[in-house]
Amino acid sequence: MAIELNKLAGAHSQQLDSLKSKAQSDTQSVKQQSVQQNAQTQAQSQPQAKDSVSLTQQAQQLHKIRDKLNNTSSVNQEKVDSIKKAIAAGDYKVDPDKLAANLAKFEGELEKIF
């Protein structure tokens, strides 16, 4: 009984080639995983940038003004009603000198704020 050694050697060489290619692909896979893990480790070790906000002096002043307006009392409805009645009756008179003085005073107060 004759055994063909070529067929046995051929089958084993195919298995060896298959095992070699599998080992090479496994090695490549392990290398890729190692590279990915190193990249993740480096990314995690670097401190994260933090956001910060700084307000200009004008923005801070506007914030203070808004707070003051929120804390002031509401409109004096009685005074508004009495002025409406006077206008409707034709009894409301505007003093131009007093109006001009009040406007100048108001503008002066605004200049102090800004």
Q: Model confidence over 41-82: pLDDT tens digits?
A: 776 666 677 888 888 999 999 999 998 888 887 788 899 999
Q: Measure the CA–CA gap between 113 and 41, rounded to whole angstroms.
A: 53
Number of domains in the chain: 2
Which residue range forms the structural domain that includes residue 95? 76-114
Q: Residue 62 domain-assigned?
A: no
Q: Residue 31 domain-assigned?
A: yes
- Which pTM was predicted? 0.29
- Sorted by sequence, the CB contacts under 8 Å of residue 61 that are 6+ apart come out as 113, 114
Torsion of CA 29, 32, 33, 36, to 10 degrees: -160
- Sorted by sequence, the CB contacts under 8 Å of residue 83 that are 6+ apart come out as 92
Q: Residue 2 domain-assigned?
A: no
Q: Model confidence over 7-26: pLDDT tens digits?
A: 555 555 666 666 777 777 77
